[in-house]
Amino acid sequence: MRIYLDNAATTQLDNEVFKAITPYLLEFYGNPSSHHAHGREAKNAIDGARTTIADLLNGSPNEIVFTSGGTEADNMAILSSVRSHQIKHVITTPFEHHAVLHTLEVLKNNGEIKLSFINTDNRGNLDINQLDDLLRENARSLVSVMHANNEIGNLNNIELIGEVCKSRGALFHSDTVQTMGHYRHNLSKLKIDFIAASAHKFHGPKGVGFLYCRNGVQLSQLLHGGAQERKLRAGTENIYGIIGLAKALEIAYSDIDGHQVYIQKLKDRMIAKLQEQVGDVQFNGNSSIAEKSLYTVLNASLPVSYATGDLLTYLDQHNISVSGGSACSTGSVSHVLNAIGADTSRNNIRFSFSKFNTAAEIDYTADKLSALYKALAA
């Protein structure tokens, strides 16, 4: 038995998603841009998937652009804001995914934008009053704030941020990669211009995602070479990925409240077990506060008796898969933990849970950690 507690990095493909994808690998393999029957079958399937996603999110099909994942969607939103809307000032947080931060750093270094960061406290809570001040001081800005952090799980109030942005005439982009399929997003009410999502974070396939772009907001073409995605995203569509994305989101929405209750119980169990069996444990950011954090993520700060890399190896040797943070930053010190002033000399481990995990797996993991620390203390 292997225990997988790294669901923030990627999730297990749902069997129903696999079944939905299979016909488009073996039977309906036409190019959606072809005008014969095989092509029409593929094109109709993509249109159906786009409608499914839009209906679930209370958006319009023409607001959904399929991408290779969250990174491309983030890049497309940011670059479109700067190049199509002449945005010269961008406000973000120091906790964003590198798909956002690195893109903004390139634009800043090229002299295309001025970059500002929202102030935070040592738990990662954002100063919304300061955001409003920044928007008053800078005409026509883009605000890019993720819905939930992929390392410490902090939930940001994108409803409030959207209202602030709208009141100041700013564009608002949110990376919802960690929350899509885990929370309901009502795009008819949310004051937001762009959201980015990736299928493999909610039991869909890797290599596919989407960008939501609100009607009336102009997008720039990121990739050139073809007229796919209404001339917004050149390249033959990943049809089976798109089918899998829509099916995964449909499954997620079918019991999203039940999954939240179930997974939150697993997370609460892990918190209690670590506190009881390891003792000197702290939790980074808001990850241990249910109402302020993503229910799938727990970032634990464990005693310094063992190097983090060695601790991860120890757990791996006992058939437990966890991580020290973002899979995109393996081997480097977490910029998120640095930004909140966390003690990075301690063993900081991210446990992330899914509907496929069990209470027995939580208990086994806590027992192995307890045994290790007891042995080190002996």
Give the pLDDT confidence of 192-240 residue by residue, as tens digits: 999 999 999 999 999 999 999 999 999 998 889 999 998 899 999 999 9
Q: Looking at the predicted structure, is the pLDDT value of residue 245 above 90?
A: yes
Same fold, 3-12+255-377 and 15-254: no
pLDDT of residue 344: 84
Q: Would you place residue 373 in the very low, low, confident or very high pLDDT band (cuts 50, 70, 90)?
A: confident
| Average pLDDT, integer, range 292-305 | 92
pLDDT of residue 334: 87
Asked about 165 being catalytic, the answer comes back as: no
Contact 12, 354 (CB under 8 A): yes
Answer CATH for 15-254 from 3.30.70.270, 3.40.640.10, 3.40.50.300, 3.20.20.10: 3.40.640.10
Beta bridge partners of 173: 144, 194
Contact 245, 210 (CB under 8 A): yes
pTM of the predicted protein model? 0.95
Q: Looking at the predicted structure, is the pLDDT value of residue 184 above 90?
A: yes
Annotated active-site residue in 227, 272, 328, 333: 328
Q: Would you place residue 325 in the very low, low, confident or very high pLDDT band (cuts 50, 70, 90)?
A: low
Fold of 3-12+255-377: Aspartate Aminotransferase, domain 1 (3.90.1150)
Average pLDDT along the chain: 94
Q: Would you place residue 333 in the very low, low, confident or very high pLDDT band (cuts 50, 70, 90)?
A: confident
Residue 77, CA distances (Å) to 192, 211, 247, 326, 357 in order: 12, 8, 24, 22, 34
Residue 125: how many CB atoms within 10 A of its CB?
16
From first CA to last CA, the distance across the chain in angstroms is 29
Determine the 3-state secondary structure of 90 from DSSP.
Answer: strand
The ranges assigned to domains in the chain are 3-12+255-377, 15-254
Strand pairing category for 194-198 and 282-283: unpaired
Q: Would you place residue 15 in the very low, low, confident or very high pLDDT band (cuts 50, 70, 90)?
A: very high
